[in-house]
């Protein structure tokens, strides 16, 4: 028992517990009064307890017992070509309060780590800052390399590929609630891969650093059968050469190297969006033994209506159908930009030219500060304007609606987002 302030703010006598070897570690809690705190399990082999008293009221104090236990979860693991499974403590049953699991997964040199989340559940009422699943690269080149998922997540967790040889998976939860937990598989993989999902992002090996030499990577994007894929390039830099004979990225309309060629790209000019009108796309990235550049960053999505879909990633770019050519008459597109939880979306108007009489009633673009039309809107936008201020949402999602009944003049738009 310790002296407690009336408002239970623990200003006078109190005990602080830090999850580590000093006071720079995460603060678990500050305790005073007569309520016995819950048991706590540290995340490492160190725990710091700090006891403070003032010069006034005295109480009986406290009595703490501690013991050592085997690590419940996390640790450092070597990924191989065999898929292995990891999970939250006691999965699918109850885990201890203040659970924090960190798995550091290393692949062999010149390989990456593939993480597939099979089961993940946290309750939507749980605070996202204390209850989440996070997938990230090591080293952390930028915040864009970390992806956090919480209980309010409506999208499935996409497959995660590290851009270098190390991935970090973190599961944190301050309390167990029914059905909570995570289970995932991990394995080492080369740069060739297949995505069976309706949206995602692609980054060259080693991004945002320079790609390795002597790479030959085959990538298949496969959306649901009734969907068509859209590819949007956000950044691009490969060694330039005549007919792209050295380093290049090929895009083909189909599932293999014999499918019709849509484009072969090299140099530093960011390619225009690609709309293959197919649910499957094949990409091949090849680098030779000489110069290495930064590579590429691509966002891809798909939709059953021919345009629109989920745009996933910390940064990205998208555009009207057929851009930089003019979109069709009677076009309706709906996109949802989704960045990691805890971040805010800012949309930039890189180019906009939407043919309209002037009242934005027939052809327009509208942005909403959330995942659907129930949230506050910005716009409608139409005409040709090169000086529209960036739109900053209040959350990690923005809903974008484009409607065009007709077009008589060359028209289109290109937007990008950051977070």
CATH assignment of the domain containing 210: 2.60.120.290
Domain end call among 43, 69, 95 = 69
209 and 295 share one domain: yes
Domain end call among 279, 301, 323 = 301
| Residue bearing tokens 């345009």 | 307
245 and 153 share one domain: no
User: Which residues, in sequence order, are bridge partners of residue 411?
Assistant: none
144 and 232 share one domain: no
264 and 287 share one domain: yes
Domain housing 39: 1-69
Given CA atoms 354, 360, 361, 367 in this order, what sign does their dihedral have?
positive
177 and 266 share one domain: no
139 and 238 share one domain: no
* Domains identified in the chain, total number: 4
Q: Phi and psi of 403, rounded to 5°?
A: -130, 130
64 and 82 share one domain: no
Domain end call among 301, 335, 352 = 301
Please give the C-alpha separations between residue 419 and each of 131, 230, 247, 395, in angstroms, as whole numbers: 21, 22, 31, 10
Whole-model pTM? 0.73
pLDDT tens-place values along the chain, 419 residues long: 555 554 467 888 888 988 788 888 878 788 888 877 766 667 677 889 988 888 888 888 888 888 776 667 888 889 999 999 999 998 888 888 888 899 989 999 888 999 999 989 888 777 777 889 999 877 655 444 678 888 766 667 888 888 888 899 999 988 888 888 999 999 999 999 899 889 888 888 877 778 888 889 999 999 999 999 999 999 999 988 888 988 999 999 999 999 999 999 999 999 999 999 899 999 999 988 888 788 898 999 999 888 899 998 888 899 999 998 999 899 999 999 998 777 889 999 999 999 887 788 889 999 999 999 999 999 899 888 768 889 999 988 999 999 999 888 888 999 999 98
Chain CA centroid to CA 241, Å: 34
229 and 215 share one domain: yes
In a 3-state reduction of DSSP, which class is residue 244?
Answer: helix
184 and 125 share one domain: yes
137 and 209 share one domain: no
Name, in order, each residue with C-beta under 8 angstroms of 168's C-beta and a sequence gap of 6 or more: 102, 103, 104, 105, 134, 135, 136, 137, 138
């Amino acid at each position: 028992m310790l002296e407690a302030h009336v408002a239970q703010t623990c200003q006078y006598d109190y005990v602080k517990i830090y999850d580590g070897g000093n006071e720079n570690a995460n603060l678990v809690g500050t305790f005073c009064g007569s309520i016995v705190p819950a048991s706590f399990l540290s995340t490492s082999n160190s725990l710091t307890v700090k006891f403070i008293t003032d010069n006034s009221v005295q109480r009986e104090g406290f009595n703490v017992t501690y013991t050592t236990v085997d690590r419940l979860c996390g640790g450092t693991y070597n990924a191989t070509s065999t898929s292995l499974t990891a999970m939250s403590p006691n999965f699918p049953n109850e885990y201890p309060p203040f659970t924090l699991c960190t798995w550091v997964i290393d692949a062999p040199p010149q390989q990456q780590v593939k993480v597939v989340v099979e089961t993940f559940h946290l309750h939507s009422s749980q605070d996202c800052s204390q209850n989440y699943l996070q997938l990230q690269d090591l080293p952390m080149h930028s915040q864009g390399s970390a992806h956090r998922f919480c209980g309010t997540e409506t999208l499935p967790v996409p497959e995660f590929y590290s851009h270098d040889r190390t991935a970090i998976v973190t599961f944190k939860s301050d309390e167990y609630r029914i059905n909570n937990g995570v289970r995932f598989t991990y394995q080492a993989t080369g740069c060739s891969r297949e995505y069976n999902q309706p949206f995602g992002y692609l980054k060259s090996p080693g991004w945002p650093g320079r790609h390795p030499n002597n790479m030959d990577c085959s990538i298949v994007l496969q959306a649901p059968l009734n969907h068509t894929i859209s590819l949007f390039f956000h950044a691009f830099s490969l060694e330039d050469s005549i007919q792209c004979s050295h380093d290049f990225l090929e895009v083909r309309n189909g599932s293999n190297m014999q499918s019709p060629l849509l484009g072969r790209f090299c140099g530093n000019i960011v390619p225009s969006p690609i709309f293959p009108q197919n649910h499957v796309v094949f990409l091949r990235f090849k680098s030779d033994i000489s110069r290495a550049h930064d590579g590429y960053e691509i966002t891809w999505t798909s939709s059953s209506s021919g345009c629109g879909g989920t745009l996933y990633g910390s940064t990205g770019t998208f555009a009207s159908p057929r851009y930089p050519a003019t979109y069709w008459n009677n076009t309706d597109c709906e996109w949802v930009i989704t960045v990691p939880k805890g971040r805010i979306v800012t949309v930039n108007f890189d180019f906009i030219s939407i043919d309209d009489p002037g009242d934005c009633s027939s052809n327009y673009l509208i942005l909403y500060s959330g995942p659907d039309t129930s949230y506050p809107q910005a716009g409608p936008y139409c005409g040709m304007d090169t000086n529209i201020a960036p739109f900053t949402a209040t959350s990690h999602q923005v809903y974008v609606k484009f409607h065009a009944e007709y077009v008589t003049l060359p028209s289109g738009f290109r937007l990008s987002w950051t977070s």
